[in-house]
Amino acid sequence: MAKEKPKSDVSAGKSAVKKAKADGEPKAESKVTDEQPRVGVFVCHCGTNIAGVVDVKDVAKYAGEKIRDVVYSTDSKYMCSEPGQKEIIEAIKEHDLNRIVVAACSPRMHEPTFRRAAQTAGINPYFVDMANIREHCSWVHIQEKEKATEKSKDLVRMSVARARLLEPQEKMKVAVKKSSLVIGAGIAGIQAALDLADMGYQVYLVEKQPTIGGKMAQLDKTFPTMDCAACILTPKMVDTSRHENIELITYAEIKDIKGFVGSFTVTVNKKPRYVLEDLCTGCMDCAEACPVEVPNEFDQGLGSRKAIYVPFPQAVPLIYTLDEDTCIGCGVCKNVCTIEAIDFNQKPEELTLEVGTIIVASGYNVFDPTRKPEYGYGKYENVVTGLEFERLINASGPTGGKLLRPSDGKEPRSIAFIQCVGSRDENTNLYCSRVCCMYAIKNARLYKEKHPECDIYIFYIDIRAFGKGYEEFYKITQEEYGVKFVKGRPSVVYEDEKTGGLILNVEDTMLGRKLEVGVDMLVLSVGMEPGSDTDSLGKMAGVSRGADGFLLEAHPKLRPVDTLVEGIYLAGTVQGPKDIPDTVAQASAAAGRASILMAKGEVEVDPIIAYSVPELCIGCRICERICPFGAITMVDRKAVMNEAKCKGCGLCAGGCPTGAARLRHFKDDQIFAQIHAALAED
Amino acid sequence: MAFEPKIVAFLCNWCAYAGADLAGTSRTQYPPNTRTIRIMCTGRMSPVFILKAFAEGADGVLVAGCHHGDCHYVSGNYGAEKRVNLVSELLPELGIEKDRLMLKWISASEGELFGKTISEFTDTIKKLGPSPLRKK
Ligand SMILES: Cc1cc2nc3c(=O)[nH]c(=O)nc-3n(C[C@H](O)[C@H](O)[C@H](O)COP(=O)(O)OP(=O)(O)OC[C@H]3O[C@@H](n4cnc5c(N)ncnc54)[C@H](O)[C@@H]3O)c2cc1C
């Protein structure tokens, strides 16, 4: 390892500032910046995660002896730990290091940690580079120790080559508007909006449907405490509509999201209700007069509504909506409306919202069981989904809470529930939907309470009763209510044409015998799927979807409500299946996370943005044309990048024919150096 | 000694690099022949990067980013696609087989796909043998 050099009197931090000024001048492309790089290499064991496969000592030794400009190298058990970071800080001071390479985990994990350490030691945080020898090496080459060690050496060499050329960057600060957009007003959006509004922030709550409430409003009772969903939800809905800091925008959709953390510009398309919101009193005269009757979506199509309607009596806002697809234009409603709230000429309205943060809470869809034709949904009348069952036993539902078979309006004397319809199934969705076991148990029990004589079977693969009080709830339903749990997934369902009953063939895998069970009614416990707009909203927000189709959180454990887009958060089932308690918890968490930025009023953003060297720019306008953010304009026939608009993709730098357009921290020479080092020792 | 290809992989930070991280967390095993360069977006790819990698003796070059419509920067991956296709047309002129250059869309949740991609690409390159430009 190289000998120590006496400390220079100018600290690296100060010279860093100097270089920042020099940057942008054409000569800044010179290979070595004004001071000689003194690179320190720190190889992490990560316990045995890395050291169990990669010979970390050998890597550190190789770096110290063989790689140009490495003046210090070492290995340590946990580089990210307090003592590990201290080691780095001390080494920077002691060996006068001005570039740091940490060979450890993914930079997506700990780059911020090591940047902070560098800063503490007085050098620019952007003088740090990481070689990912864990996720990209030790964990994926477990059986190939020697080759993994060789690869680690290469990765460290590449990292050093890049580090030598890194330039100092100053973090940029942007202001954060103290207002938030919440997309979707199910229980998740409602909770997040209320929390933020209570903290004093302006909230725009945008809901696609004519009313807020989401799926929870459709449920009857809620497991495991059996409170009625409406009783606990409607007060919150009313609070939401009355809160002085919440602007409720219903029957509206997000059209576009522009901007970045701190200042997003959102375009919202408000559909015409053909009813003036300020005037309508919700008196119902129009609906009573309306001659058109169509299936009510809120009742899963089991009940009916008029063409001018509110989805359910406790709707918020209690304003009627004229559904233009089913209206026949007879004008009767307009005639009976004495306050003249009906306006057939209403046009869609476009609103522009300026917000600092966004919470996506657009919820889920239930699985469509026609994709499992073997269960006969859509073919046999008495096969219903779990959500339809919720409406059928709901006192405010189409049957007034009396469960009646769709085929003949009789109360069923036997019911079967089939679990995992569209969940834990290779042909549909692999994941567990987390709520179906519990809602089937809940609904079985609810019916048994009223009809103890009814035979109820639940056909399951495993019962997942994981929440607080859930296992107890399950046990009581089984032991005290006598609901029969049969472990087995029915292969096929037939209808008994004479009775309208259903015949299920199933193997009871506990007892190892084949069963044939006949019931009056069959309920399919359909799972949760991503909501219809998950994809389009994700794209507008720049948030990707996971393999399951739900929106992806920034980190499955440590950042479960953040997304990779700063300032945008997830709440509720848009992120994955969950029950109400988890949804509410996540919604409050998302509100909390969003409030951190807004409370501070400003946020530091990576200064990884593009700039152009005027002397090299030939004014060809390629960059201007390909920039996805309209961040480039031509001034005196030279490209000029707008720092606030640039997001740092580097598309301009990749497309520039002369090398004038550059991306900070990812400049050509830095990448060339990595390519070279990947393939040659030096 | 058996031929061990050297493959340079350019991965975008948000999708392919994250997918590679997930392959790691899920302990998906694949051959140790790639050397990764992280870029924020595949849109940053300049045709020169690919040519430089081949000139320096790479046996294969992989460019991997977000699926169409998933780009963190809206359309960076479309730019990458055009440029990679352009270079791919040029390669035979330089005596390099087209198959040595691969463009692949891998999302942050496709760790397994990442591993599979590397395994298959490494296989392809092994079959092709060392790059004609590889320094002896
Ligand atoms: C049959 C059944 C029974 C259940 N029973 C229980 C129970 O007893 N206990 C329990 O804890 N959980 C239960 N659940 C789970 C519960 O329904 C969910 O946990 C909860 O409703 C999730 O709320 P959410 O706000 O995330 O989603 P949602 O309720 O789906 O709300 C999302 C909202 O976003 C709106 N939206 C969608 N797209 C857009 C857009 N582009 N722009 C604006 N708005 C949009 C939707 O219209 C909707 O209002 C049950 C689920 C089912 C299927």
| pLDDT value of residue A114 | 97
- Please return the burial class of A52, using the count of CB atoms within 10 Å of its CB with bins 0-12, 13-18 and 19+: middle
Query: For A321-344, what is the mean pLDDT?
Result: 96
**Span of A172-176, A318-322, A350-354, A435-439 with lowest mean pLDDT:** A172-176
**Substitution candidate for ligand 1 out of A219, A433, A443 with most atoms within 8 A of CB:** A219
ipTM: 0.98
Looking at the domain A610-663, which fold is it? Alpha-Beta Plaits (3.30.70)
Decide which of 2.40.160, 2.30.110, 3.40.50, 2.60.40 is the CATH code for A11-170. 3.40.50
- Which atom of ligand 1 sits closest to the CA of residue A190? 25
Q: How far apart are the first and last CA of chain A?
A: 18
Looking at the predicted structure, is the pLDDT value of residue A21 above 50? no
Residues of A in contact with B15 (CB under 8 A): 544
Q: Measured between beta carbons, which residues in chain B are less than 8 angstroms from residue A650? A: 39-41, 43-44, 76
Give percent of chain A with pLDDT exceeding 90: 89
Query: Mind telling me how many Å the CA of A426 is from chain B's nearest CA?
Result: 17
Is residue A681 predicted with pLDDT exceeding 90?
A: no
Distance B54 CA to ligand 1 centre (A): 53
Compute the half-sphere exposure of residue A342: CA atoms within 13 Å on the CB side of its CA: 25
Structure tokens given for A161 = 């080559």
List, for residues A557-605, the tens digit of each pLDDT value: 889 999 988 999 999 999 999 999 999 999 999 999 999 999 999 998 8
Q: Is the pLDDT of residue A4 over 90?
A: no
Cβ burial, residue A1 (10 Å; 0-12/13-18/19+): middle
pLDDT of A29 > 70? The answer is: no
Residues B25-74: tens digit of each pLDDT: 999 999 999 999 999 999 999 999 999 999 999 999 999 999 988 888 88
In the predicted model, what is the mean pLDDT of chain A? 93
Report, as an integer, the average pLDDT of A348-367: 98
Within this chain, domains A179-363+530-600 and A366-528 share the same CATH topology? yes
Instruction: Name the B residues in 53-92 with CB < 8 Å from any A CB.
Output: 53, 56-58, 66, 69-70, 72-76, 79-80, 83
Q: Which atom of ligand 1 is nearest to the CA of A187?
A: 25
Of all protein residues, the one whose alpha carbon is nearest to atom 37 of ligand 1 is A362
Q: What is the pTM of this model?
A: 0.85
Q: What is the mean pLDDT of residues A516-544?
A: 95
B92-119 confidence digits (pLDDT tens): 999 999 999 999 999 988 999 999 999 9
DSSP-based three-state secondary structure for A31? coil
pLDDT for position B134: 80
Mean pLDDT score, A142-164? 98
Identify from B8, B34, B38 which residue to disrupt to test chain A contact, counting A C-beta atoms within 10 A and taking the largest count: B38
Average pLDDT for residues A440-448, to the nearest whole number? Answer: 97
- Model pLDDT, residue A619: 96
Is the pLDDT at A1 greater than 80? The verdict is no
Mean of pLDDT values over A610-621: 97
What is the C-alpha to C-alpha distance for residues A236 and A50, in angstroms, rounded to an integer?
A: 50
Question: What is the pLDDT confidence band of residue A10, given thresholds at 50, 70 and 90?
Answer: very low
Give the Cα separation of B104 and B51 in Å (integer). Answer: 18
Give the closest residue to B14 by CA, choosing from A255, A75, A106, A348.
Answer: A106
Measured between CA atoms, the residue of chain A closest to residue B57 is: A679
What are B133's two structure tokens?
Answer: 């430009």
User: What pLDDT sits at residue B135?
Assistant: 61
Mean pLDDT, to the nearest integer, of A270-297? Answer: 96
Which range is least confidently modeled, A234-248, A456-470, A518-532, A547-561? A547-561
Q: Is the Cβ of B50 closer than 8 Å to some Cβ of chain A?
A: no
Supply the pLDDT for residue A605.
Answer: 86
CA-closest candidate to residue A133, choices A51, A62, A57: A51
Give me the pLDDT at residue A644, please: 79
| Cα–Cα separations (whole angstroms), residue A393 to A259, A380, A675 | 46, 20, 66
The class level of CATH for A366-528 reads: alpha beta
Could you tell me the residue ranges of all domains in chain A? 11-170, 179-363+530-600, 366-528, 610-663
**First-to-final CA distance of chain B:** 14
Domain A179-363+530-600 falls in which CATH fold? FAD/NAD(P)-binding domain (3.50.50)
A556 vs A482, residue with greater confidence? A482
For residue A468, name the pLDDT band (cuts at 50, 70, 90).
Answer: very high
User: Are the beta carbons of A653 and B44 separated by less than 8 Å?
Assistant: yes
Atom of ligand 1 nearest to the CA of A364: 30
Confidence of residue A260 (pLDDT cuts 50, 70, 90): confident
Say whether A155 and B45 touch across the interface (CB within 8 A): no
List helix spans (H) across A302-394: 332-336, 386-392
